Chains A and B, each alone.
Chain A
Amino acid sequence: MIKTFLTITLTGLLLIGCGEQKNKRRSREKVRSKTTQQTNQEKTLIDHETMFGIIKSIPSPLETSDLIKKMGIPFSERILHSPDKKSKYTTSDKQALNLGIYGADLGYTNIYGEKSTSFKYLKAVRQLAADLKIGQFFDKKTITRMRENENNMDSLVYISQRGFEQMSNYLEKQNRANVGAQLLIGGWIEGVYLVSSVYKTDPNDKLMETIGEQKVAINEIMIIIDAFRKERNFRSIIKGFDELKTVYDEVEIEYIQENTEIEVAPGVMKKIEGEKSFVKITPQQIERITQTLESLREDIIN
């Protein structure tokens, strides 16, 4: 009996020891992470978690590209940023912003199933990601996987979206908030730029509404912009976003209460007490937004 007790107790203690070691390692990591975060927070004014929470909440440029395609608008390589310029960017700020832009363009080419063009953008994404030391999310394995799925648009979208999401998660763990923010800003600018470029040749109410409803996104992005106000390398971005915010403050989004019955799962109907939104935006406001976006984008890509 004593023998059994001793064996069990000793094994238990051994496991306690191992468990504590693991827990200690985890808490050490937590402390280290907290210290780096604090250093970062001094610079960015908002906490790390809030910053990445906002970064993750902003709509993907993929949604606007999908809208453009669904409207029957043909693919246009002309409106995209040239992938040949990828080697031009030597500072990490330019690399991160342009990685965001190329990411949005990659999404656009994937949505249209433009395989050869899409691989040019994938190459640009790979290079800039490698320059920023986040190239592991678009490694050879990922590229092979993308090639294997080149005829399945949903799979291509999934693999590339996941690549960018993993990048963002990694940047969060590494406390590289500025790179995460620049990636988001570049991607958002390109997404809205694509819509406004299409609007110029095919103006319609839906595109007008899409540009106007970016007011919700810009209000969120401004929290990030404000956090970087003291940073010199964000100066031109801040100026551009301040101008955009001024115009968007004039744009109105009206909400009305609307109760509807929707199919929430196959064959399952549910009454929802929801809202319907309406955007009030003028062609003049669209023009001012387009001009500001174009100048912001020019500044980034040149």
Chain B
Amino acid sequence: MKTIKYLSLLSFPIFFLFLTSFVDIEDIEDCEDEDFLDECAEVIDGYKFLKANLITIDDESKIEYKSVFSKGSTYMLTACNIGEGALKVTLYDRNKKRVMSNFIRSKYYPSVTYPCTATGVYYLKYEFTAGNGCGVGIIGFKK
């Protein structure tokens, strides 16, 4: 009788774990939805849309994209996600030296701008502040 009681208690966390795994798959589908992207793109108001990087982090801790930035352009970086925490984006220059991120003095900003002074290949690393998940990183520009 005691064993049955323990097993009964154990089934709750198992049940919860599987429910959350379903939410994850649905989240990924939501992140690929155009409506989610449209909503996120509203943040870059005043800038022209350049590209959207889809972010799905499950196995690895961060995802990296590269992009050629041109001197004289100002780039707006924004990152949106579904679920808990926030999506952090960090910009690195051609030498992989950290330039900036959307967390300034530990405070999150929905978008940050970078007036580019050196043409080159830049790297954008995306990571979640809490656990794994999915989201989108949008880059806008203006001359």
Contacts and interface: CB of A to CB of B under 8 A. Distances in A.
B71 A262 contact: no
B52 A262 contact: no
A58 B68 CA distance: 6
B70 interface: yes
Interface stretch (A36-44, A93-101, A124-132, A252-260): A252-260
A265 B104 contact: yes
A185 interface: no
Contact of B100 (A169, A272, A277): A272
Interface residues of A, number: 54
Contacts of B47: 154
Interface in A214-266: 216-217, 220, 253, 255, 258, 260, 262-265
A299 interface: no
Interface string A266-302: 0010101111110100000000000000000000000
Interface residues of B, dominant DSSP = mixed
Nearest to A217: B68
B141 A63 contact: yes
Contacts of B117: 258, 260, 274-277
B119 A264 contact: no
A158 to B, nearest CB: 4
A216 B120 contact: yes
A264 B76 CA distance: 9
Contacts of B118: 255, 274-277
B24 to A, nearest CB: 10
A217 B68 CA distance: 7
Given A53-B66, A270-B100, A262 B115 contact: yes
A258 B93 CA distance: 13
Interface stretch (B14-22, B82-90, B125-133): B14-22
Contacts, number: 139
Contact of A57 (B66, B97, B100, B109): B66
Contacts of A53: 65-66
Interface residues of B, number: 55
Interface string A113-156: 00000000000000000000000000000000000000000100
A11 B15 contact: yes
B21 A19 contact: yes
B68 A57 contact: yes
A190 interface: no
Interface stretch (A2-10, A77-85, A174-182, A196-204): A2-10
Interface in B47-70: 47-54, 65-70
Contact of B50 (A60, A209, A272): A60
A213 interface: yes
A56 B51 contact: yes
A62 B49 CA distance: 10
Interface of B: 1, 4-5, 7-8, 11-12, 14-15, 18-19, 21-22, 25, 34, 37, 41, 45-54, 65-73, 93, 97, 99-100, 104, 109, 111-115, 117-121, 141-143
Given A58-B68, A270-B100, A270-B104, 10 more contacts: A9-B7, A57-B66, A63-B143, A66-B48, A66-B141, A66-B143, A154-B45, A260-B117, A264-B114, A273-B97
28 contacts: A1-B5, A8-B8, A9-B7, A9-B11, A12-B11, A22-B25, A57-B65, A57-B121, A59-B69, A62-B48, A63-B70, A157-B48, A158-B48, A158-B49, A206-B72, A210-B70, A220-B68, A258-B117, A262-B114, A263-B113, A264-B100, A264-B104, A264-B112, A265-B104, A265-B109, A268-B104, A274-B99, A275-B117
